[in-house]
Amino acid sequence: MRNIILLGFILLLIISHGLADQSQTDQENHPSPDAPVPIAFSIVGSSNPGINLFYNRTANLHISLFSGNVKSVQGLQVGGISNFVRSDFSGYDATGIYSRVGGDFSGAQVSGVIAQVEGDFYGLQEAGIFGYAGGNFFGLQSSGIANKVDGDFTGLQVSGIKNQANNVKVLQIAGVLNESNDVHGVQISGVVNKAKHVRGVQIGLINKSETLDGIAIGLVNLSETGSVNLVSWGSPSGTIHAGIKFAPNNYWFTILTLGNTQGLEEDQILKVFQGRMGFHFDIVPRLYVEIDLGGGNSFSNNLSEWNDESSYQSVIEARVSAGYKIGSRLSVFGGVSNTKIGEDLSWLHQDSGELRPFFGIQI
């Protein structure tokens, strides 16, 4: 009886050991659904798990002929037309037309038309037409038409037409429009820069903000905390200028002016259009000092000479002035200017400048 019990115990040990070996073999042949698969390939990635074997899998290499649909990617993804990764992506993505990631992305995403990430983005996003991130973005975002980031953007955002982000740190460059809430850095646009609060620099034809703690360089610079004034000044020699002054804050301004200036020839008076940029310094209450530099082009007062190229001359003028505020908008000012005129850039090396006093009014 004892021998029978001992034999039975030995048989149980052998059977249990065999079952353990078989279980280990099964795990090796059929890995856990959470374990990454080395390669996932599809012609058309279905959203039906029964048809798409890689629907709930993480792939190290994901290749699709027309479209692909996997849970996540850790490595490389290549697609002919479109790819959809429903969770996170880390690595490199190159898709012909449309690439979409439902989670966070870290790495490089390149798409011929649209690159879309629903979560946070870390790295490079390059799209032929439209780039999008639903969370925060850290890195470089570039597209041919437009970029949009619903969260905060840190890095370089470049587009052919429009950039949009919540808060921007570092740099935005757009062919037409940059738009954001807070900017800590630089906005550069071919036409319009728009932000609520700017701490840095705006460069564009039109710059608009609610508050500007920095510099706005453009033809029109507007801020809700700044001012827009009419200015006019003249000199005893007979030159006179009038224009619009944009002061988006209390220490930086730009002026667009049209007026007359003395030409290179004696008694020659030319019309001149200039854009000016300068700094404003409050000395004591009501008393201030301004320094500005203007550049533009002059042309003859005689219409018959407009076809003559020599009648068009480059003009640059530097001014230093002191002013007194009579009221909230009204002030008077005076100072000295130095004007140089020439037909080409060689005038920069000529001693053609002359100091002239001027006096003016600002409303």
Mean pLDDT is lowest, of 43-47, 123-127, 165-169, 323-327, for 43-47
Residue 261's pLDDT band (cuts 50, 70, 90) = confident
Residue 237's pLDDT band (cuts 50, 70, 90) = confident
Q: Measured between alpha carbons, how far is 258 from 315 in angstroms, rounded to an integer? A: 12
What's the mean pLDDT when you consider all of the chain?
86
Distances (CA, A) of 360 to 239, 321, 322, 330, 332: 12, 10, 10, 11, 6
Do β-strands 72-79 and 89-95 pair in parallel, antiparallel, or remain unpaired?
A: parallel
Residue 316's pLDDT band (cuts 50, 70, 90) = confident
CA 120-124-128 angle, 5° bins? 105
Residue 301's pLDDT band (cuts 50, 70, 90) = low
* DSSP structure string for 118-169: SS-EEEEEEESSEEEESS-EEEEEEESSEEEESS-EEEEEEESSEEEEEEEE
Q: Measured between alpha carbons, how far is 104 from 98 in angstroms, rounded to an integer? A: 17
Query: What are the boundaries of each domain within the chain?
Result: 36-151, 153-225, 227-362
For residue 345, the one-letter residue type is L
**Residue 6 pLDDT > 60:** no
As a whole number, mean pLDDT of residues 131-154 equals 98
pTM for this entry: 0.80
Residue 253's pLDDT band (cuts 50, 70, 90) = very high
**Residue 105 pLDDT > 60:** yes
Q: From the centroid of its chain, how far is CA 164?
A: 8
202 pairs with which residues across the strands? 187, 216
125, 141 Cβ separation under 8 angstroms: yes
Locate all alpha helices (DSSP H) within the chain, ordered by sequence: 2-29
122, 105 Cβ separation under 8 angstroms: yes
As a whole number, mean pLDDT of residues 185-189 equals 98
Class of domain 227-362: mainly beta
As a whole number, mean pLDDT of residues 192-205 equals 97
